[in-house]
Amino acid sequence: MKRELLRKLPRVDYLLKHKELEEYGKEIDYYTFSKSIQKGISFFRESILNDSILSFEENDVILKIKEILKKNSLYNLRKVINGTGTIIHTNLGRSLLPKNIERHFLDITTSYNNLEYDIESGKRGSRNSHLEKLICEITGAEGAIIVNNNAAGVVLCLNEFAKEKEVVVSRGELVEIGGSFRIPEIMKFAGVNLVEVGTTNKTYIEDYEKSITENTAILMKVHTSNYRIQGFTHEAKREEINELAKRKNLISIEDLGSGILVDLSKYGIRKETTVQEVLKSGIDLVTFSGDKLLGGCQAGIIVGKKDLIERLKKNQYLRTVRVDKITISILEVIFRMYLDEREAVKNIPTLKYITEEISFVKNRAEKISLLLNENKILNRVIETKVDVGGGSLPEEKLKSFGIEFLINLSPNEIEKRLRNLDVPIIGRIEKNKFIIDMKTIEDEDIEFVAQIIISEFKENL
């Protein structure tokens, strides 16, 4: 019986030319195509040998191969629908980029470009020059430099100005960021000696001054962007830290973390210190991320005094953390938008989601709810609250709207099935209900999302 079934299995060379599979062969590379066919045959061979398949037809093999081909043709990194409502979702790629970035991005990445070429002089140029003046114009800094993330920016600054020396930080600011990266460990890696001052909830300028020795190089402030200490608290003002640093001939640095260039309080959001405000306080160097509240791609941005920035440019470590043409091209588009705040808030998705009127979110929720209910995918529109995410604005809960599924499936089953689609829909389970939050879903995606939900659950009606 087993021998007969094994002999019945079609050969690889036969299936490579099979009419039912030929379209797949045109769409993917030969290696993936042939390997998928081999895997399909192997699945049946092993199933026959362990008695889990007692009969089959050629079409069964074809269907299995198609299933494997479909799975193998998907990229590992691919688009997902963010129905969690979290705007800067670290697990889902953080900030979205503006749609109109596409043309410039393609021009730069599919053509040669002047990454390190000075067109005016015809000589070698600097990749940093494409962004420095623009960033300085927006932030008010004297100089700027870009590295591949904020942690790298902090390490570069510490390594250049305080290697084998002391850096003073308040105990209330020894933060841990995502992935268990902690300020003390980063400082150790940079080759500096951490000096903790004050207490978790109270640190005065006198605490900084008392800790200064002949080996002190930096007074450092770390913005607690992903948590707040409330109640019986005190922290030294930036102006005080700057004044003390100047008086003692030291450097003042602030790791601002998320980094924001727009005063969000104008849009009804809790006040968050902007990069411009930190620089105006006199702090020498400020570091912040490119892919959080700024709304760009992964990068670390260092702004501050020109003489200090020039020193950073000569640090040998910079070459290990420098950015490429892709990052520079994206950030140039983003920073150009900040030349007009109205354009930035309108076109940078992170800022748009944070500041948009709640009526727009409700309208999106009602649209998709109607489409689903018309197709008997029972649901209802509910009010929700969402986080900004990415360790930004930890106390801010934004009002939102979502759809709550009322179909006869468990929330875990709904979550799993939508997560395993070719274009996964990632929602959340709340109070034993599965919810898709509309804060992070665009109008243009509503019909697409509705159709794939309808296709997935129509058999359960």
| Residue 332 confidence class, pLDDT cut points 50, 70, 90 | very high
Q: Is residue 181 part of a domain?
A: yes
Q: Looking at the domain assignment, is residue 346 inside a domain?
A: no
Model pLDDT for residues 231-251, shown as the tens digit of each residue: 778 888 999 999 999 999 999
* Residue 282 and residue 372 in one domain: no
Same domain, 174 and 269: yes
**Tally of structural domains, the chain:** 3
Higher-pLDDT residue of 72, 363: 363
Q: What is the mean pLDDT of residues 159-179?
A: 87
Contact (CB, 8 A) for 205 and 247: no
Number of H helices, E strands in the chain: 20, 17
Q: Is the pLDDT of residue 229 over 80?
A: no
In a domain, 383, yes or no: yes
191 and 208 co-located in one domain:
yes
Q: Helix, strand, or coil here: 199? A: coil
The CATH number assigned to the domain holding 436 equals 3.90.1150.180
Residue 357, in any domain of the structure? yes
Residues 330 and 454 in one domain: no
Return the CATH number at 101. Answer: 3.40.640.10
Q: Are residues 274 and 156 in the same domain?
A: yes
Residue 76 domain-assigned (yes or no): no
User: Does 289 fall in a domain?
Assistant: yes
Quick one: which of 79, 81, 83 has its CA closest to 439? 83
Decide if 226 is inside a domain.
yes
- Residue pair 287/154 in contact by the 8 Å Cβ criterion: yes
Pair (57, 129) in one structural domain: no
Give the pLDDT of residue 173: 83
334 shares its domain with 372: no
| Pair (166, 275) in one structural domain | yes
pLDDT in tens, 395-418: 788 999 999 999 989 999 999 999
274 with 412, same domain: the answer is no
User: What's the domain range around 36?
Assistant: 2-71
> Torsion-angle region of residue 35: left (phi > 0), alpha (psi -120 to 50) or beta?
alpha
Tell me the average pLDDT across 297-324: 95
CA 173 to chain centre: 23
Q: Are residues 181 and 165 in the same domain?
A: yes
